[in-house]
């Protein structure tokens, strides 16, 4: 049931709903990694003065991780569980992307144990420069 990438219709794979969707394309997927993209639009609720703000970048990272879980469960024909951000550490925002830009977000699973997952996330601009990074711990709800 593997699909050809990229996958643009991804909203059924994440728990967030419009207007709070901060990923729009699943670029690639493996058991340990995911790459997603997101085009910044002027009507996004986390855009101010034509820039996608820090909370938007953090939410984009978290939703990329949620997309990994959602797609994995979807491939098994199972309903994805709800997850939460348990913690964020080592986060750094270097550049705020502008309206019209597409950002690429890559998440790598570092550890996974009993519903708790530690991931390293990097966000890139169109020139493949890192614009934000973080480590996140996500927790699957019971």
pLDDT at 100: 98
Instruction: Give me the CATH code for the 11-140 domain, please.
Output: 3.10.129.10
- The domain ranges of the chain are 11-140
CA distance 107 to 123: 9
pLDDT at 2: 52
CA distance 88 to 121: 11
Query: pLDDT per position in the chain (142 positions), as tens?
Result: 456 899 999 999 999 999 999 999 999 999 999 999 999 999 999 999 999 999 999 999 999 999 999 999 999 999 888 889 999 999 999 999 999 999 999 999 999 999 899 999 999 999 999 999 999 999 988 7
Give 24-28 contacts, CB < 8 A, sequence gap 24+. 26/67, 26/71, 27/104
Q: How far out from the chain centre does Cα 76 lie?
A: 20
pLDDT at 22: 98
| Whether 125 contacts 97, CB under 8 Å | yes
pLDDT at 1: 46
């Amino acid at each position: 049931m593997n699909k050809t990438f990229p996958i643009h219709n991804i909203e059924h794979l994440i728990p967030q709903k419009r207007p709070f969707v901060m990923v729009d394309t699943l670029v690639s997927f493996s058991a340990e990694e995911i790459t997603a993209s997101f085009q910044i639009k002027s009507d996004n609720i986390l855009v101010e003065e034509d820039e996608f703000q820090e909370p938007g970048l953090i939410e984009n990272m978290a939703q990329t991780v949620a997309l990994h879980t959602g797609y994995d469960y979807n491939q098994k024909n199972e309903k994805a569980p709800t997850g939460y951000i348990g913690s964020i550490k080592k986060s750094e925002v270097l550049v705020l992307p502008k309206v019209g830009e597409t950002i690429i977000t890559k998440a790598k699973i570092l550890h996974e144990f009993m519903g708790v997952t530690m991931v390293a996330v990097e966000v890139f601009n169109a020139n493949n420069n890192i614009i934000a990074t973080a480590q996140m711990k996500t927790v699957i709800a019971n």
